[in-house]
Amino acid sequence: MTARSFDAIIIGAGQAGPSLAGRLDTAGMSVALIERKFVGGTCINTGCMPTKTMVASAYAAHLARRAADYGVALSGPVGVDFKRIKARKDKVTNDARANLESWIAGMKGCTLYRGHARFESASTVRVGGHLLTAPKIFLNTGGRASVPELPGVKDIPYLTNSSMMDLDVLPSHLVVVGGSYISLEFAQMFRRFGSKVTVIEKAPRLTVREDEDVSAAILSILENEGITVHVGADDIGFARQGNDIAVSFGAGKPPAVGSHVLLALGRKPNTDDLGLDKAGIEIDKRGYIVVDDQLRTSVPGIWAMGDCNGRGAFTHTSYNDYEIVAANLLDNDPRKVSDRIDAYALYIDPPLGRCGMTEAAVRKAGRRAVVGQRPMTRVGRAIEKGETQGFMKILADADTGEILGCSVLGPGGDEAIHCVLDLMYAKAPISTLVRAMHIHPNVSELLPTIAQELKPLV
C-alpha cells in the first residue's frame, strides 16, 4: 500500500488538535486530522460542556427551592424533569460538536480521518485501510477514567464520568466513589436533582490537593445539602444486593447501598493502543508520553499535547499546549510549559477558583510568607445574593511581595480568581493589588482589602 503524504499528522481531535490543524492549514500546510470517536474530545462530549450544562440545571433547581428566601412565592413544589435536563445537555454538546466539525471541514488543507490510529514507524501511521506519512506528528489522544482492581468491581454495573452522560433515569441513590473534583461536581449535581447521594473517599479528607481549610469548607457545603460523606475508607469493595449495589468502605461499618455507583478514581492516558513502541516514543511508568518543556517527545518530529502527556489535566492546559507548540513552530516564539501557572476550578456551588501555590506547598518550599483571608459572610455581594458559604485566601512572599497563590471558594470564585492569576503572570507584586480599585458591589472587590491585611504564615 502506498502511503499518502502530508506535512503534518494530528492524532486526536480534542481541544489542542483542531486548533493546531487550523494554524497549520492557515500556514499552507497539508494536515491529516485523525479521530476515533467524536471531535471535541472529553471537553465537548463527556466533560466540561455537558457537565457544566447539567450543573446549571442543578443550580436552577436549587435556587427555585430557595425562592422563599428571596421573597419569591412559587405555586407548588419544585420538580425536576431529568429527561429534559439530559436533552438540554445533549443539545449543547451536539451543537458544539457540529460547529467544530463544520470548522474542520472548511479547512482547505485538512483531511479528517475517522478511525483508530496506530504507528507503523516514527513517520507512518495507519488508520483502518489508510496509510499516512508526515515529517511532523502531533499526539492529542487525551485520557479516560481509571478503574482500579477493587474487590467486586467486575461484578457490578458501574458508571464513569463518560457513561454518566448517557444516563436517562435519575438514580434514587447515587454512591460516588472518590472525593475529588469530578466526583464532587456529580455528587452535588445529582443531590440537587433529587437523588440521595453518598460520597466515599479513601483519603482522610476530600480534595486532598487543597489546603485543609478549603477541604473542610467543601465538606461543609456538601453536608449542608444532605450529602453523606465517608472519608478514610480503607477497604472499598462492591457486591450486588438485589437490584442495588452495596459499597463497603471499612470493617465494622454498614455498606452504602445504592441504585447506581459512580467511580471517579482518577484518569489514565489513552496511550496503550497507539503502537508507540514502533515509533520509539518514550512513556513513563503511568503511561504518559514523556515530553520536554516545549512538548517534544523523545522522537524528533513528534509532539504530544493535552492529557496524554501528563503535564496538565484540564481543557485549558490542553489548549495552552497547542499555543506553545504553534508559537514555537510557526511564530519563532519560544514558549514553554514551565511558563504557566497552576490554575483550575472546582465547579460545585459555590465554585472554587485556585491558582499558584497552596499553604502546604509554600511551607514545603520553605518560603517566608504572609497570608490573608476573608469569609464570604463578610463579603457584601455574597450577602446580597444569599450565598455566604466559603472564603478567600491570598498568599505572598514576605520578603519580595511576589504573589504566591490564591483560593476563592464562593460565588463567582471561578471568575474572581483571574484577578490574581493575571497579576501573577504580569509578575506584579502584592502591592499592585493593594492599590487596585475594584468595582462595587462585587466579590472580587475584597481582594485588595485582603491584600492590605496580610499576616505572617505560621
Which residues are the active-site residues? 440
* Distance (Å, whole) CA 436 – CA 447: 9
What 8-state DSSP symbol labels residue 174? E
Interatomic CA distance for residues 256 and 219, integer angstroms: 18
Cα atoms in the Cβ-side hemisphere of radius 13 Å centred on 177: 30
Q: Which three cell numbers stand for residue 171?
A: 438514580
Calculate the dihedral angle through the C-alpha atoms of 272, 275, 278, 279, rounding to the nearest 10 degrees.
-80
Cβ-based neighbour number of residue 314 at 10 Å = 19
Q: Give kind and range of the element (H or E) at residue 19.
A: helix 16-26
Q: Parallel, antiparallel, or unpaired for β 173-177 and 260-263?
A: parallel
DSSP letter at 249 equals -
Asked if 108 and 118 count as a contact pair (C-beta separation under 8 A), the reply is no
Give the ranges where 27-47 is alpha helix by DSSP (H): 41-45
The 8-class DSSP code of residue 106 comes to: T
Beta strands in 231-364 (DSSP E): 237-241, 244-248, 256-258, 260-263, 267-269, 302-304, 343-346, 352-356
Give the relative orientation of helices 16-26 and 82-105 as an angle to the nearest 10 degrees. Answer: 20
